[in-house]
């Protein structure tokens, strides 16, 4: 066990992008705080390899990390470029355009008029095409949506009063 004079807290934030994997290590201890940065080419075949290489580049053993915060713009970009398998997004009523609004892809940036193609299909029949073996609604899914899903998916629909996960 480390003595109190050796106690350090190490937190890593890492983003796996299509070209590079960027890492920031924030380390605090008795001697103060320190930040270390790493930028490693992303390994497309196994993205974990670049994450581990970036951690190694900071000189810290992965076992000594207290927290890893991970993000991936590679997956976000693949979604935006429509290069992934078909996906479904179920949101709280009124939030179906969150991805498009965040990307500012509305035809008129300061209004809600015009037409655009959503990133993710908006209807249950499109979700049905994914053929989920089980569909568990989030705790915030409205009763109308739950009723529609129960009618569409029959026994594959599993009511859920608590939690927020969908299983396909």
Same domain, 92 and 137: yes
Same domain, 94 and 125: yes
Same domain, 74 and 105: no
Quick check: is 112 in a domain? yes
Quick check: is 163 in a domain? no
Write down the pLDDT at residue 162.
46
Least confident stretch, 12-16, 56-60, 101-105: 101-105
Same domain, 100 and 67: no
pTM score > 0.75 for this model? no
Write down the pLDDT at residue 163.
41
Same domain, 18 and 42: yes
Please compute the mean of the pLDDT values over residues 133-140 and round it to a whole number.
60
pLDDT (tens digit per residue) in 102-136: 655 556 666 666 666 666 666 666 666 666 666 66
Distance of CA 43 to the CA centre of its chain: 19
E strands in 42-151 = 67-72
Distance CA 146, CA 158 (A): 10
pLDDT (tens digit per residue) in 18-43: 899 999 999 999 989 999 999 999 99
Same domain, 22 and 74: yes
Quick check: is 21 in a domain? yes
The CATH number of residue 17's host domain is 3.30.420.40
Q: Percent of the chain scored above 90 by pLDDT?
A: 31
| Range among 97-101, 122-126, 148-152, 158-162 with highest mean pLDDT value | 148-152
Higher pLDDT, 75 or 35: 35
Show the domain range for 94.
85-156
Please compute the mean of the pLDDT values over residues 88-112 and round it to a whole number.
62
Please compute the mean of the pLDDT values over residues 66-89 and round it to a whole number.
78
Quick check: is 166 in a domain? no
Distance CA 98, CA 39 (A): 31
Q: Are 90 and 167 in contact (CB under 8 A)?
A: no
Same domain, 11 and 74: yes
Please give the mean pLDDT across all residues of the chain: 75
Same domain, 117 and 64: no
């Amino acid at each position: 066990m480390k003595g109190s004079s050796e106690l350090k807290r190490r937190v890593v934030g890492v983003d796996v992008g299509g070209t590079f994997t960027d890492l920031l290590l924030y380390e605090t201890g008795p001697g103060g705080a320190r930040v270390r940065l790493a930028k490693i080419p992303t390994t497309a075949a196994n993205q974990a390899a670049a994450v581990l290489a970036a951690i190694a580049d900071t000189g810290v053993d992965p076992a000594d990390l207290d927290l890893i915060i991970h993000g991936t713009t590679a997956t976000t970009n693949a979604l935006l470029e429509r290069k992934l398998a078909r996906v479904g997004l179920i949101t709280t009523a009124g939030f179906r355009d969150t991805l498009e609004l965040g990307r500012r892809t509305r035809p008129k940036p300061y209004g809600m008029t015009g037409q655009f193609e959503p990133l993710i299909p908006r209807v249950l029949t499109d979700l049905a095409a994914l053929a989920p073996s089980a569909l568990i609604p989030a705790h915030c899914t409205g009763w109308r949506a739950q009723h529609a899903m129960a009618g569409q998916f029959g026994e594959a629909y599993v009511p859920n009063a608590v939690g927020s996960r969908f299983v396909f």
